[in-house]
Amino acid sequence: MPDLHGYAHVAITVSDLDRGVAFYSRLFGAEPVGRIELDGLDRRLFAVGGGQILGVTGYAAGSDVASDPTVPGLDHIGLRCTDRDEVLAWQQQATEAGIGSDLQDVDFGTALMVKDPDGNQIEFFAGPTPS
């Protein structure tokens, strides 16, 4: 089997591109680093560390049905953090941006979940601290 070297990017669809870009700009504390415009598609690109990109996409003929992680498709996007303190820093960033979040400490690490206005879930995750 050929080698893979991780994800290059993930793209999600939003019902209102301006609203989605405003949300992710507040969450990440940064504006998009790029844009792709194709026939009927407009995607804004956010750098999320490690050379990876999160694309926020609007379609001219798109739907306004909210994302639902209980139906087949994408459940959530997990972004890796170094440790629990970094996850807590993202919680503070979300709070300061007026974005609600849910922090969970579990046996396998610490997870902070946020949802965009369309229900797409973004998780900031750090594994357990080695003893």
Write the pLDDT tens digit of every residue in 89-123.
999 999 999 999 999 999 999 999 999 999 999 99
Q: CA 125, 128, 131 angle in degrees (round to 5)? A: 160
Per-residue pLDDT tens for 24-80? 999 999 999 999 999 999 999 999 988 899 999 999 887 777 777 667 678 899 999
Cα 9 from Cα 51, distance rounded (Å): 9
Q: Which CATH number is 9-126 given?
A: 3.10.180.10
Predicted pLDDT at 62: 72
Predicted pLDDT at 7: 82
